[in-house]
Structure 1
Amino acid sequence: MLSLPVLADPVRAVDARKYLNSVTYKLYSMDRRTAIRAIASSLAVPVAGCFDSSGSTETTTSSATVRNHPAAHGIETQPTLGPSPLDGGSVIVAFEDPSCPPCGRFERTVFPKIRDEWTEQGKVSFVYRSLPIVYEWGGPATAALEGTYERASTAFWALKAHYYETQDAFTSDNVRERTRTFLESETDIDADSVLKGVDADRYEDAIAVDREAAARADVDSTPTFALFKRGTFLTLIHGNHSFKLFESALDLKRDDRERQGSVETGT
């Protein structure tokens, strides 16, 4: 599926980046809802499209870091596995849509390896950003994910996995009821409260933060991954690619060798 171009106001984007740089540290002391409202300072720009493994990578010589790269806009409010993405290590910022088939294939085949081999070992931070641009049911599913994350991060990751594992079963007609059934049977959070928030557009500020980050980073398709190494931006990967591509880009085996060498030499 071809993606549509994103048009953004460059003056607004520059001003917003200056603002974000000035408030990054202040956001740590805020609760998530307050932080989201602080950084949702402009309207989201709609984007569309999804890519499978026919996608691409984009490299850059930019010295942008995870603290000022547009893909990391509002990153301190996002669901994260592994170390803090602001600790200066390796980071994957994933823009995904619960209704996007290539995202589903990534989540079922590549993400488990990233989680088991990297985030759980403290080697990589994985940051999830919702970008509902493919099928209609992805919108309420994204809102439900935001509402669930507000209440419990473990329930968020479980619901996310449920959406991608059973993607073909969801439609715009049944997404709310299937979400309710899962939350009531598999988590301890109040499903009714989450879904009332979905219907009342309570989570639009949180979704707007992700949309704005995508627009500023020229992300107009899902899945798209922004990769950072030692806190510095490396590349954008478009589409569902193999674990080996992520492994090659981040070169974590080299990090392991360097750490082992430091241990052996006592440095």
Structure 2
Amino acid sequence: MTKRTRRSLLGSAGAAASLTLAGCMGGGSGSSGSSGESSDGVALADHPLGENLAEWPHLGPDPFEAPATLVVLDDPSCSRCAAFHQGTVAELESQYVESGDLSIAVRPYPVVYAWGEPAAHALEATLARDEAAFWALLDHYFAEQGSFNTDNVLDQTETWLGDNTDLDAAAVIDDVDSEAITSRVEATLAAGEEAGAGNITPASFAFVDGALQTSLNGSVSTSTVETALNL
């Protein structure tokens, strides 16, 4: 598979397992900043999040072939997810993704604020059409989180897609309204629950040579991820 990075896709568009920082917590079980799970060595292909991973948007090499793979579940409405992507993910991309040493796979996992659910559906509908537009829209949600709520998120998304991509923005929103993309979001929620992500985002899973090393809850630092991935 051709190596892809956020930079090339977007063009001009805008310590250890126990060390975690607070994440966003949804209205269910779980607690902010809970410790990551220790390694159990399960193969990525056999992990709950590996079942449909080939369909996930990712930065860098094939997640199943990369020396190290970070699988990230995040909610577009979660402020800690925004911080994680704007800080840690950006640094990891610059240092390891572009060299082919790391693959980062991401999937919307809406468990925090209510507007994150329709946003996740819009992201999936966008991904079905164009992966570059998916990354651009995800960055837009993170950059402008304070401007969204359940009443305006789809209208604002349609306007932004129309102004900033070549997609049929109305068709993307039609897919959300018709629930055409619901099964994809539900599959991620089910896989995340099975994997132990609970209601805290971002939830990240570190694999080295195709085997799970640890899970990390919250907006952890670049050095923490480096340690988890033996980078």
Give the structure-1-normalised TM-score. 0.73
Structure 2 unmatched ranges of 5 or more: 1-24
Q: Give the SS at the match of 1:121.
A: coil
Q: Give the SS at the match of 1:59.
A: coil
Q: Whose radius of gyration is greater, 1 or 2? A: 1
**Aligned equivalent of 1:258:** none
Cα distance in 2 between the residues matched to 1:124 and 1:147: 26
Q: Which amino acid aligns with 2:28?
A: L
* Deviation, structure 1 residue 159: 0.4
Asked if 1:214 corresponds to 2:192, the answer is: yes
* Deviation, structure 1 residue 197: 0.5
Tell which has more relative contact order, 1 or 2 (C-alpha 8 A, sep 6+): 2
**Aligned equivalent of 1:227:** 206
Find 1:80's aligned residue among 39, 58, 64: 58
Q: Which amino acid aligns with 2:96?
A: W
Find 2:220's aligned residue among 241, 245, 250: 241
Q: Which amino acid aligns with 2:36?
A: T
**Aligned equivalent of 1:178:** 156
Q: Size of the alignment, in residue pairs?
A: 206
CA contact (8 A) 2:36 2:217 kept: yes
Asked if 1:123 corresponds to 2:101, the answer is: yes
CA contact (8 A) 2:45 2:64 kept: yes
Cα distance in 1 between the residues matched to 2:202 and 2:176: 23
Residues 174-230 of structure 1: CA distance to partner in whole angstroms, max 9, x if unpaired?
101211121111111110000011111110111122112112111102111010001
* Deviation, structure 1 residue 2: 7.4
Cα distance in 2 between the residues matched to 1:147 and 1:186: 16
Q: Give the SS at the match of 1:151.
A: coil
**Aligned equivalent of 1:91:** 69
CA distance 1:150–1:2, shift in 2 (3 Å):
closer
**Aligned equivalent of 2:114:** 136
* Deviation, structure 1 residue 156: 0.5
CA distance 1:88–1:126, shift in 2 (3 Å):
closer
Q: How does 1:30-45 map to 2 (within 5 A)?
A: none
Structure 1 unmatched ranges of 5 or more: 6-48, 253-267
Cα distance in 1 between the residues matched to 2:202 and 2:27: 12
CA contact (8 A) 2:66 2:100 kept: no
**Aligned equivalent of 2:88:** 110
CA contact (8 A) 1:85 1:91 kept: yes
* Deviation, structure 1 residue 72: 2.1
CA distance 1:183–1:117, shift in 2 (3 Å):
same
Give the structure-2-normalised TM-score. 0.84
Cα distance in 2 between the residues matched to 1:150 and 1:138: 18
* Deviation, structure 1 residue 56: 2.3
CA contact (8 A) 1:3 1:50 kept: no
Cα distance in 1 between the residues matched to 2:31 and 2:183: 23
* Deviation, structure 1 residue 167: 0.9
Asked if 1:56 corresponds to 2:35, the answer is: yes
Cα distance in 2 between the residues matched to 1:107 and 1:50: 21
